[in-house]
Amino acid sequence: MTASTTGVVFDGQRLWRSLEATFEIGRSSDGGVSRLALSDAEKQMRDRFVGSCEESGLTVSVDTVGNIFARREGTEPQLAPVLVGSHLDSQVAAGPFDGPLGVFAGLEIARALDDAGIATRRPIEIVSWTNEEGPRFAPPMMGSGAFARVLDEATVLATRDPDGISVGEELDRIGYRGATPCGGRDVDSYFELHIEQSPSLDRSGCDVGIVSGGYPAQYLKVTITGETAHSGPTPMAERRNALVSGGRIAVAIDDVGRAHAPDGKTTSTGIDVWPNRPGIIPSLVELRADLRHPDAAELERMVCEAEAACARAAEHDGVSVRCERTHAFGGVSFDEGLIALLEEEAGRLGARSVRLLSQAGHDAYNLLAVCPAAMIFCPCIEGRSHNPREDVDPARLAASVGVMLNSVLRRAQA
């Protein structure tokens, strides 16, 4: 990775080293990382980040939901800060870039400005949001949601994981329940660098993705109630097997995604079955799915098709099915002013950029509720993410970091 040669430069090797130093944290036997929010592994990530920020002379504060802010003071401290960041938590079977890249790229921006001896009018704050991923505590994008008052802070703190442990308890345990009030303050703007997680940018030949907005996504919870009975003698015609019906619905939801491909996406992500024991027909199933499409009207059609498939399965299998729309996110457009700024800087730096939509959820969606926000994607090799083989090409990463650095600088001087 080489630093950009126009505009303010940064040390690509230093950024890579700071990322590499985290590769072993929460490393799992499959070669990936597992750093679920507020776990011991994620605490290690937090400690590492905070230590590096303090070494770099940044002032670290932690808010009441565990969001971490590392502030590089501006010459006019009363001005609203520019925020730059992402998240340090990961999925359960993850690669090392989804999240930490954006946080450590923020730190590299601060270091690069120091190296260049540049003071900015506005403060710049590097932020790590609590629980972006959501596999342990639902919903995802929790810390940014509380900060932007999209989620209720007390509800967030009371949210429990599958073992019954709350966010508040875990913040106390790992020492990251801070004293700084969560949100409620002016923010000039928010920038987030992230791997794309789709193969489109990687295959496009462009190095910089300028994100114009995010796919709307709808999570569904399907509850199926059949009846227990003996797995042997019960006549086939009299069975009400909730697991078979859940399987039928999982296949139908997958078919909905394929029928709306390539833009539409559907995933059955999980299932819980009761009694889930040999010798007895399962009577209770909870199936969880998410559906996404760039066009909200098309997404609505897809959700209706999934709901219709649930009704058909209920009829076919003699079970009752309740399909609930639970968490939804996305369907946002990023700030046109920031998008124009990013494109201008990309042009000035000679970076090949392309506008695209994010298909995943990101903290930047929540920040739009309180300030102009924008995202930059770097290519993710073959689009593999939430997978131990997630990887990025350091040589192609430099362009997006350079664009973000110079855009943040412009905004911080404005």
Binding positions for its own copies, 76-105, rule CB under 8 A: 91-93
Site residues for its own copies, window 180-199 (CB under 8 A)?
196-199
Closest CA to 143 of 377, 366, 374, 331: 366
Closest distance to its own copies from the beta carbon of 223 (Å): 16
Please tell me whether residue 246 binds its own copies under the rule CB under 8 A.
yes
Cβ neighbours of 149 (radius 10 Å): 14
Determine which residue in the list 174, 267, 295, 413 makes contact with its own copies, applying CB under 8 A. 267
Based on CB atoms, which residue is closest to its own copies, 107 or 376? 376
Closest distance to its own copies from the beta carbon of 360 (Å): 4
Determine which residue in the list 29, 163, 232, 297 makes contact with its own copies, applying CB under 8 A. 232
Determine which residue in the list 51, 181, 275, 350 makes contact with its own copies, applying CB under 8 A. 275
Determine which residue in the list 58, 84, 113, 217 makes contact with its own copies, applying CB under 8 A. 217
Site residues for its own copies, window 283-322 (CB under 8 A)?
283, 288, 290, 292
Choose one: 50-58, 68-76, 227-235, 302-310; the region binding its own copies (CB under 8 A): 227-235
Please tell me whether residue 241 binds its own copies under the rule CB under 8 A.
yes
Kindly report the three-state secondary structure assignment for every residue of the chain: CCCCCCCCCCCHHHHHHHHHCCCCCCECCCCCECCCCCCHHHHHHHHHHHHHHHHCCCEEEEECCCCEEEEECCCCCCCCCEEEEEECCCCCCECCCCCHHHHHHHHHHHHHHHHCCCCCCCCEEEEEECCCCCCCCCCCCHHHHHHCCCCCHHHHHHCECCCCCEHHHHHHHHCCCCCECCCCCCCCEEEEEEECCCHHHHHHCCCEEEEEEECCEEEEEEEEECCCCECCCCCHHHCCCHHHHHHHHHHHHHHHHHHCCCCCEEEEEEEEEECCCCCECCCEEEEEEEEECCCHHHHHHHHHHHHHHHHHHHHHHCCEEEEEEEEEECCEECCHHHHHHHHHHHHHHCCCEEEEEECCCCHHHHHCCCCCEEEEEECCHHHCCCCCCCCCCHHHHHHHHHHHHHHHHHHHHC
Closest distance to its own copies from the beta carbon of 245 (Å): 9
Based on CB atoms, which residue is closest to its own copies, 63 or 305? 305
Closest distance to its own copies from the beta carbon of 268 (Å): 5
Site residues for its own copies, window 135-154 (CB under 8 A)?
135-136, 138, 140
Please tell me whether residue 130 binds its own copies under the rule CB under 8 A.
no
Closest distance to its own copies from the beta carbon of 192 (Å): 16
Choose one: 17-25, 48-56, 172-180, 385-393; the region binding its own copies (CB under 8 A): 385-393
Please tell me whether residue 212 binds its own copies under the rule CB under 8 A.
no
> Is the sign of the CA dihedral 94, 97, 99, 104 positive or negative?
positive
Determine which residue in the list 58, 83, 142, 281 makes contact with its own copies, applying CB under 8 A. 281
End-to-end Cα spacing for the chain: 29
Closest distance to its own copies from the beta carbon of 218 (Å): 12
Site residues for its own copies, window 42-81 (CB under 8 A)?
none
| Binding-site size, its own copies (CB under 8 A) | 75
Please tell me whether residue 160 binds its own copies under the rule CB under 8 A.
no
Determine which residue in the list 298, 386, 391, 410 makes contact with its own copies, applying CB under 8 A. 386
Determine which residue in the list 231, 318, 348, 393 makes contact with its own copies, applying CB under 8 A. 231
Site residues for its own copies, window 354-373 (CB under 8 A)?
358-361
